[in-house]
């Protein structure tokens, strides 16, 4: 039987217990990562932090950013944030690029957040 279950890094255990969601869920060689955000004074800092947080969740399951095959991002004020988001992504990811859907929204679960990213990764 293939490996199946939640992935909960130590820094996410409180959120897992309080809000009843897994930062990621592994089914065999596939990892489904819940939305992550970052923090920072500028868009560049916030989005770099988001991708660092994403990399940490992936690593907790033995995956890497290179294993990402599908990405969905949610953006508050997308026309103002998309360029910085793409720059942060391009600083840590490279070809082959994953499939990507960017969605504009009015609000995220964390009110100060300006973008959230969720991914699916497959271990090669």
Q: How many domains does the chain have?
A: 1
Q: What is the pLDDT of residues 27-45, one digit of tens each?
A: 999 999 999 999 999 999 9
Q: How does residue 1 score in pLDDT terms, banded at 50, 70 and 90? A: very low
Range of the domain at 60: 4-122
Task: Determine how many CB atoms are found less than 10 A away from the CB of residue 97.
Answer: 12
Q: How does residue 15 score in pLDDT terms, banded at 50, 70 and 90? A: confident
pTM passes above 0.85: yes
Q: How does residue 84 score in pLDDT terms, banded at 50, 70 and 90? A: very high
Here the contacts of 10-14 (C-beta below 8 Å, separation 24 or greater) are 11/56, 12/57
The CATH number of whichever domain residue 51 belongs to comes to: 3.30.1330.40
């Amino acid at each position: 039987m293939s490996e199946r279950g939640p992935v909960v890094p130590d820094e996410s255990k409180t959120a897992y217990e309080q809000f009843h969601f897994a930062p990621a869920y592994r089914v065999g060689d596939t990892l489904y990562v819940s939305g992550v955000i970052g923090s920072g004074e500028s868009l560049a800092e916030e989005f770099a932090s988001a991708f660092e947080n994403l990399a940490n969740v992936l690593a907790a399951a033995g995956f890497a950013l290179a294993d990402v095959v599908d990405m969905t991002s949610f953006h508050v004020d997308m026309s103002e944030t998309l360029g910085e988001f793409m720059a942060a992504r391009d600083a840590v990811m490279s070809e082959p690029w994953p499939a990507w859907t960017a969605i504009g929204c009015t609000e995220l679960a964390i009110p100060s957040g300006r973008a959230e990213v969720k991914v699916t990764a497959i271990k090669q």
